[in-house]
Amino acid sequence: MTAAVETVAPRAARPSAGPWRQALRRLARNRSAMIAAAGLVLIVLACALAPVYAGSIAHTDPFTSNASGTAVVNGARVPVLAQSTEGLGLGVTPIGPTWNPGSFFLGADNQGRDVMARLLYGGRNSLMIGLSSAALCCVLATLLGVLAGYFGGWIDAVLSRFFDVIWAFPVYLLAICLSVVLLTSGLHVGPIHIDAGSLALPVVIIALIYVPYVARPLRGQVIALRNKEFLHAAVGLGASDLRIMRREVLPNVLPTVVVFLPLMTALNMLTESALSFLSVGVQSPDASWGTIINDGLALLYTRPAITIAAGLCVGLTAVALNVLGDGVRDALDPNARLRGGA
């Protein structure tokens, strides 16, 4: 009697997840990064809904002076700007926070404008400038860093001296000087034409001053890659320089660029807020968190909610971006687990 032999077909091996998918899984397990990302999403959504709040809830125009307006507080109609009773009685005092979303939730500024509506609109500009300038900075820095690190020679020498010249100036001093000059005449270089007062102007200024801070690390990383065997193999196969940079070098420096993006967004947003606070950033009638802090400076002792609210928005957003950036760095770093990362 012969026993039947049952053969089992071998199961096909499951393909391993790619490096980007593995990094995403590690990031999803990082609780701090996920909490920061959730908070950042809430801030972005709130700012994106600024027109809905101003038009459908508060029924106000945050960019128009409302000196003669009135508001209902506890059933009584009161002026938005009341005559000051302090000192000699000169000037006006804006209405304070009513905690009513439909009417001056955070009070009014010295022109009678709704602070909450301006805070949401200002957040849109601050976030847009921070993210746009960070993206532009990373693109320019990647291009220049890869060119300098890959070709070396006179190209590296010229670009490195360019980085040194920008690096020689204090960041905020250089940004203020460029802003003061360009706010009067705009930027007109070749096909690039940006009018004075445009929101694109602080984007370009902030992006340019931080290029060396991103390009330098990328240049060093590319120089280290030049000695790798896979790069020598590509050269031996006759691949062109453009193909090697696009297919071999760029994918290896891209994780570093991705890590830089949220960190530079936070840094650029803080720089924009500082410039706007000094009146050389976002210009009226546009608003940003920096201009709102400046607006509330004269009312710091009587209506501190204006400055405190804008300052908290800047601080919380910067913290969320930095925590998220740290999480992205640990997720993309294969040695993160050895350091106790996610």
Q: Is the pLDDT of residue 117 over 70?
A: yes
Q: Is the pLDDT of residue 26 over 90?
A: no
Q: What's the DSSP call for residue 194?
A: E
Q: Is the pLDDT of residue 91 over 80?
A: no
User: What average pLDDT score do residues 243-257 get?
Assistant: 89
Q: Read off the pTM.
A: 0.87
Residue 121: both structure tokens together:
């609109």
Residue 239: pLDDT band with limits 50, 70, 90: confident
State in Å, rounded, how far the first CA of the chain is from the last one.
59
Name the amino acid, one letter, at 215: A
- How many whole angstroms separate alpha carbon 33 and alpha carbon 326? 8
Residue 6: pLDDT band with limits 50, 70, 90: low
Tell how strand 92-94 and strand 187-189 pair up.
unpaired
- How many whole angstroms separate alpha carbon 265 and alpha carbon 332? 18
Percent of the chain with pLDDT over 90: 49
User: What average pLDDT score do residues 35-50 get?
Assistant: 95
- How many whole angstroms separate alpha carbon 272 and alpha carbon 294? 13
Say which residue, 61 or 87, is predicted with more confidence: 61
User: What average pLDDT score do residues 265-282 get?
Assistant: 94
pLDDT of residue 341: 43
Mean pLDDT of the chain: 86
